[in-house]
Chain A
Amino acid sequence: MSVEQMAMPQLGESVTEGTISQWLVSVGDEVKKYDPIAEVTTDKVNAEIPSSFSGKITALLVGEGDTLPVGEPICAIEVEGTEPAIEKLAKSTSAARNLTETEQQDTSMKKRYSPAVLRLAQEHSIDLETLEGTGRSGRITRKDVEQYIASGQATDKIQKKEETTSEQPGAACFSEAVAKAASKPTPAPRQYQNEAGDHVVALTGVRRAIATNMVRSKHEIPHAWTMIEVDVTNLVNYRNQIKGTFLKKEGHKLTYLPFFIKAIVAALKEFPRINSTWAGDKIIEKKAVNISLAVAADEALYVPVIKNADEKSIKGLAFAVDELASNVRENRLSPNDMQGGTFTVNNTGSFGSVQSQPIINYPQAAILSIESIVKRPVVVNDMIAIRDMVNLCISIDHRVLDGLITGRFLARVKELLENINPENTPIY
């Protein structure tokens, strides 16, 4: 048994509604298919409506004199032996709902941006990665962006995003930022008046990245600074002794830098805390020792990386330094060359400097600069002697490092450098 409904039929062209002028049946009456059940008046005709089913009238849904649109139910008839239409409908609806639910897990459209979304994101400097999409499959809709802008979060979120990046363990560093520089929004600079004759230098991407990262490092990292002086007379003698042969055999100049790096790397292996990074709620000591080397070019400063510096001999380091320097000069650095540094060495001595306060290469924990080697009168065994002296300056992240451990690290570097000789420091 099931209940079927009879609908107001369409009686002629352009007829869209009808008026029940008289019911020919009452509730409880048995009707056969095609029996007239009601009289209907329209603009055009008067007609009898035939029943579409055989069964018992269970309800008259409209009264005599009522006008209703074509297709609206007028009465209910109980019919034997058909599946109620309503159940079928319910089944298909629930199937459809299940489909929608599975769809919502899917985020395949998260990065499909419409022209409107891209334009808004650009106009308001919004990093779309930080937005949640409410569209199908996680798509960020124009409305999502508009709501985000309306909520006033647009500028706040940019800062927050930078903070989260800074807390990412180790991976990010200044040099990577250089590669990404172009896409990073920078705060609008103050307006300066330039006077007659001033030369206005437009910022290059690299300059802008240097500025951003220096500011970030100084803002976020509490810098502390210290300096030691090291007697490198032995090193100078050793290097003078072999540099001619080295050039002849290897075709490369042998500078002091590989020796310094070698000593620093050895000390870093003993004091892994120096070779670490601040990660917000923890400190991460890096296993790899990758030395970032500050290399100056005419208009910029690059910090390419000598990967796994602890696995290299003096010769290996010398070659690596040379290669990086020539890559910088010939503008052949790839973003990959600048990634993954864990500690930075800055050869300020090459400019004649005897003291400097380097800014840490974010997010590393320390940076060391090697000053000029100069001959100075010093007291050795209560006698005045002329020695080759060098200052080593170090800036540290005081969240990660304290004076004590830094002092021990520097003392170890000093010890290694002062005791260099052909026996303990082979070239190969």
Chain B
Amino acid sequence: MPVISYIEAVTQAIDEEMNRDENVFVLGEDVGKRGGVFQATKGLYEKYGENRVIDTPLAESAIAGVGIGAAMYGMRPVAEMQFSDFMLPAANQIISEAAKTRYRSNNDWSVPLTIRAPFGGGVHGGLYHSQSMEAIFANVPGLKIVIPSTPYDVKGLLKASIRDNDPVIFFEHKRAYRLIKGEVPETDYVVPLGKADIKREGTDVTVITYGLMVHYALQAADKLAQEGISTHILDLRTVYPLDKEAIIEAARKTGKVLLLTEDTKEGSVISEVAAIIAEHCLFDLDAPVRRLAAPDAPAMPYAGPLEHAFMVKPEQVENQIRDLAEF
């Protein structure tokens, strides 16, 4: 099985879906000739032409709006927000239109739109290129929010998102793009939306997380295994709506839960995970549920040392797991 990078898995998934279904098309800033600022749509313009790989103006509201309209008419648009930080001008389209159309039209209309958006920090991106935006959309019924952690999941989940008949926001971690590599089958497969995945079986501490943090947890788990601490890691993969069953099962497995996100702490996706555990797992808990997240500060700083201080670090993950194991 070929080993490819996270971003190559993005390109492969879009390519395969465009090839499979002529209704699939790509739109976004610089996605055409340039192949995207991160090169996620590299080669697609040459392969499928300017009618199916469309460069748009710098207007996120329009990218989302055009996508919604096209989707309502039976197309399957894959819209790219160049950075998730720039999604907010499109928030009205996404929250008030895309998410509500099926409900509002009593099932007559639907919006099979996929919005891809690179997110996350630790890439020296400063205030406007480092944010985690998932929590802003993760309380809007009608939306699905997917955040894959591995190239395998990227391909399978992106294909599932494109084929899904309702709007999906697909967040891709910028730092994972070239850092994370993994085996990805060349065959056509999908990974179901709404299903979390156990990335590592363990018995001492459960870590529930998503995105790049899955890898921090895996790294920490490897180190801790040498100390005899066994870590169970659940990758949420879809952060809205959450896979409650998998969360409850993972929390019950060890009774000691560390929730991990790169986002700022209050009101983050993991806060909702904590609430699910509190509602369902009281008599299985052996320690207070713990959250590790970025500080509740307005933004990721630009200065290197400050960015480093702001980001959740692998050593912190390791220390928190150890602390819980020893509790």
Do A and B associate with each other? yes
A13 at the interface (CB under 8 A from B): yes
Least CB distance, A158 to chain B, in whole angstroms: 22
Tell me which of B123, B174, B285 contacts A116 (CB under 8 A): B285
How extensive is the interface on chain A, given as a class? Answer: 20 to 34
A142-B286 in contact given A14-B174, A14-B177, A43-B178 (Cβ < 8 Å): yes
**Contact indicator A136/B178 (Cβ below 8 Å):** no
What's the Cα separation between A17 and B282 when bound, in Å?
A: 44
The B313-327 residues at the A interface (CB cut-off 8 A) are 326-327
Contact check: which of B178, B287, B326 meets A16 at CB < 8 Å? B178
| Cα-based distance from A117 to B256 in the complex (angstroms) | 12
Q: Which of B277-305 contact A (CB under 8 A)?
A: 282-287
Which of B123, B179, B287 is in CB contact (< 8 Å) with A69?
Answer: B179
Residue among A16, A114, A115, A118 making CB contact with B179, cutoff 8 Å? A16
Instruction: Pick from B124, B203, B204, B256: contact of A13, CB below 8 A.
Output: B124
Do A115 and B282 form a contact, CB below 8 Å, given A13-B123, A15-B178?
yes
Task: For the complex, give the distance between the alpha carbons of A106 and B125 in Å.
Answer: 46
Q: Evaluate contact between B178 and A135: CB separation under 8 angstroms.
A: no
In chain B, residues 117-134, which have Cβ atoms closer than 8 Å to a Cβ of chain A? 123-125, 129
Our count of residue pairs bridging A and B at CB distance below 8 angstroms stands at: 57
* Contact assessment for A117 and B38 in the assembled complex, using a CB-CB cutoff below 8 Å: no
Q: Is the CB of B38 within 8 A of A14?
A: yes
Report the minimal beta-carbon distance from A18 to chain B, rounded to whole angstroms: 10
If A115-B285, A116-B255, A116-B286 touch, whether A143 touches B203 (CB-CB below 8 Å) is yes
In the bound complex, residues from chain B placing their C-beta under 8 Å from that of A414 are none
Within 8 A of A (CB), among B176-221: 177-179, 203-204
Residues of B contacting A43 in the complex (Cβ-Cβ under 8 angstroms): 39, 178
Q: Is A119 an interface residue (CB 8 A)?
A: yes
Whether A336 sits at the interface, judged by CB under 8 Å, is: no
Q: With A and B bound together, what is the CA distance between A69 and B122 in angstroms?
A: 14
Q: Does A307 sit within 8 A of B, measured CB to CB?
A: no
Residues in B with CB closer than 8 Å to A273 are none
List the B residue with the shortest CB-CB distance to A122: B283
A111 to chain B, nearest CB (A): 15
A-B contacts, 27 listed (Cβ < 8 Å) = A10-B123, A13-B125, A14-B175, A15-B123, A16-B175, A16-B177, A16-B178, A16-B179, A17-B179, A43-B39, A43-B178, A69-B179, A114-B286, A114-B287, A115-B282, A115-B283, A115-B285, A116-B283, A116-B284, A116-B286, A119-B284, A135-B327, A136-B327, A141-B327, A142-B254, A142-B255, A142-B286
Report the 8 A-B pairs with minimum CB-CB distance, sorted nearest first.
Answer: A16-B179, A142-B286, A119-B283, A114-B286, A116-B286, A142-B255, A13-B123, A116-B255
Binding site for A on B (CB under 8 A): 38-39, 123-125, 129, 174-175, 177-179, 203-204, 254-256, 282-287, 326-327
Beyond the given pairs A117-B286, A142-B286, 20 more chain A to chain B contacts, judged by CB atoms under 8 angstroms and listed by A's residue number, are A10-B123, A12-B124, A13-B123, A14-B38, A14-B123, A15-B178, A114-B287, A115-B282, A115-B283, A116-B255, A116-B283, A118-B283, A135-B327, A136-B327, A141-B286, A142-B254, A142-B256, A143-B203, A143-B204, A143-B286
